């Protein structure tokens, strides 16, 4: 049974940092990308950052602007998202998902909601000002 469990969300002041973790189980970790998405009320869910452990390819949303770093611990089937220089507009529920874009060349498609297969329940990140 596929499971993805997020942790690490919380309340921080603007300029602070958080590290999110996504623990995956129930599938072959290396066969998929693991993506971080976020959503706020009234907006579409957007891809934040994704990583494909089989080759180490990563993707970052344009809005990240060098502030976030994604990493994969294959042995633990866990993906981390280090978020630095947080801004109030980063406030959202952050979800991790297993993504499979098949033969598509690695890029934006591997961090697209359309190709997400399974989702965690989310962890809330709140950035105050």
For residue range 30-51, list pLDDT tens digits in order. 778 999 999 998 999 999 999 9
Q: Are 72 and 50 in contact (CB under 8 A)?
A: no
Band (120; pLDDT cuts 50, 70, 90): very high
Q: How far is CA 10 from CA 29, 69, 105, 124, 126, in A?
A: 26, 18, 34, 6, 6
By three-state DSSP, how is residue 19 classified?
strand
Give pLDDT, residue 27. 80
Give pLDDT, residue 1. 82
Q: How far is CA 57 from CA 26, 34, 51, 61, 126, in A?
A: 22, 11, 6, 14, 28
Rounded Cα distance, 101 and 122, in Å: 22
Rounded Cα distance, 113 and 122, in Å: 14
Give pLDDT, residue 11. 98
Give pLDDT, residue 108. 94
Rounded Cα distance, 21 and 23, in Å: 6
By three-state DSSP, how is residue 31 classified?
helix
For residue range 49-62, list pLDDT tens digits in order. 999 988 999 999 99
Rounded Cα distance, 96 and 9, in Å: 12
By three-state DSSP, how is residue 14 classified?
coil
């Amino acid at each position: 049974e596929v499971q993805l469990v997020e942790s690490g969300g919380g309340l921080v002041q603007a300029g602070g940092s958080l590290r999110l973790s996504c623990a995956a189980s129930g599938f072959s970790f290396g066969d998929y990308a693991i993506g971080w998405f976020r959503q706020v009320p009234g907006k579409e869910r957007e891809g934040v950052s994704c990583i494909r452990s089989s080759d180490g390819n990563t993707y970052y949303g344009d809005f990240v602007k060098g502030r976030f770093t994604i990493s994969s611990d294959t042995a633990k089937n866990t993906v981390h998202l280090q978020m630095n220089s947080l801004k109030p507009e980063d406030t959202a529920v952050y979800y991790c998902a297993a993504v499979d874009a098949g033969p598509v060349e690695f890029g934006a498609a591997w961090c697209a909601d359309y190709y997400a297969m399974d989702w965690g329940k989310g962890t809330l990140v709140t950035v105050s000002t």
